[in-house]
Amino acid sequence: MKREFYIIFCSFFLTIISCGSINEQVLEIEDEVDKEIIINDDNVIPNTTNSYKILSLGDSYTIGQSVCETCRFPVQLVDTLIISAKVKSTFSLKIIAKTGWTTSDLKNAIKSEYIANNYDLVTLLIGVNNQYQNKPFSLYEKEFPELVNTALKAVDNNTIKLVVISIPDYAYTPFGRGDKTISNAIDKYNAFAKAYCVTNGITFVNITDITRQGLINTALVAKDNLHPSELAYTKFVEKITPFAIKKLRLD
C-alpha cells in the first residue's frame, strides 16, 4: 500500500513540475511577442537594409589586369562604401570590362549584355586602347559620348549617378619608359573626356596624376610592369569615394 501511495505521490509531483515548465515557456513566448510589438512601434526606426546596384564599364583598368579580383578598383570601391554607409547596406556589382578593349569593343560587348535602368551608380573608364592601338582620335570623339549615353541609360538618365574616370598614363611604368608621346596622347584623350563631362554635368574624376608617380613609386605598378597595382587602385578609390558617397546619399 505504501508503495502504491509513493508512486501516486511521485506522479502528482512530476505533473506539477511539468505544468510549471509549460507556463514558463508560455511566458517567454509572450515576452518575445511584446518585444516584436515594441520594435514595430511607429516611434521606432525599423531595422531595414538599403540595397544599391553598381555597374562598372571599361577595359583592363576596370577588370584589374594583373591584380587579384578583390584588388581591382570597383571591388575596393564597394568595400569602402560598405564601411562608409551609416545604415546597414548591401551592394551588388556588375563589371563589363576586358583587357585590350577599345571604345568599339566595349560598345559591342554591351550590346550582348542585358543592362537594367535601375543602377544607383555607374563608373566609366575607357580609351587607353584606342590610343595604344593607334585608332583615329575621331573614333574616340564619336564613341565616347555614345558610351556615356549608354551608361546614363543604366541610371535612368540621371547624370548625378555617373562617374567618368580619367585614363591612367602607362608612360610612367617600366613598359612605357617615360615616353612623352604617350603622355601627350593620354592628355588629349582626357581633355576631351573632361570637357564633354563638364559640358553635360557629369562627374569627372582625375586619377592620371596618381599613375604618373609610377616610375618614382614602383609600388603603384603591378608585377607586369604595365598596369596599376592594388595600391594604385586603392588611391583611385580614395578619390572616387567622396563623390560616390554623395551620389548614393550615404553621408
Which conformational region is residue 96 in: left (phi greater than 0), alpha (psi within -120 to 50 degrees), or beta?
Answer: beta
Q: What is the share, in percent, of the chain residues with pLDDT greater than 90?
A: 76
Are the C-beta atoms of residues 173 and 65 closer than 8 Å to each other? no
Residues 80 and 201 grouped into a single domain: yes
Which conformational region is residue 187 in: left (phi greater than 0), alpha (psi within -120 to 50 degrees), or beta?
Answer: alpha
Residues 38 and 124 grouped into a single domain: no
Residues 26 and 64 grouped into a single domain: no
Total tally of structural domains belonging to the chain: 2
Q: Is the per-residue pLDDT at 21 higher than 70?
A: no
Q: Is the per-residue pLDDT at 224 higher than 60?
A: yes
User: For residue 152, how many C-alpha atoms fall within 13 Å in the half-sphere facing its CB?
Assistant: 15
Predicted confidence (pLDDT) per residue in 114-155, tens digit: 899 999 999 999 999 999 999 999 999 999 999 999 999 999
User: What CATH number is attached to the domain comprising 160?
Assistant: 3.40.50.1110
Residues 115 and 165 grouped into a single domain: yes
Q: Is the per-residue pLDDT at 11 higher than 80?
A: no
Predicted confidence (pLDDT) per residue in 24-82, tens digit: 222 222 222 222 222 233 333 445 679 999 999 999 999 999 999 999 999 999 999 99
How many residues are present in the chain? 251
Instruction: Report the distance separating Cα 17 and Cα 24, nearest Å.
Output: 11
What average pLDDT does the structure give for the chain? 85
Residues 131 and 17 grouped into a single domain: no
Predicted confidence (pLDDT) per residue in 181-202, tens digit: 999 999 999 999 999 999 999 9
Residues 40 and 58 grouped into a single domain: no
pTM of the entire predicted model:
0.81
Residues 76 and 199 grouped into a single domain: yes
- Residue 221 DSSP class: B
Residues 16 and 66 grouped into a single domain: no
Question: Of 10, 26, 47, which residue is a domain's last?
Answer: 47
The C-alpha cell at 106 is 566595349
Q: Residue 142 is part of which domain span?
A: 50-248
Residues 39 and 55 grouped into a single domain: no
Residues 25 and 61 grouped into a single domain: no
pLDDT at residue 88 in the model: 85
Closest CA to 232 of 223, 163, 54: 223
The C-alpha cell at 194 is 573632361
Q: Which residue matches cell numbers 595604344?
A: 132
Residues 140 and 65 grouped into a single domain: yes
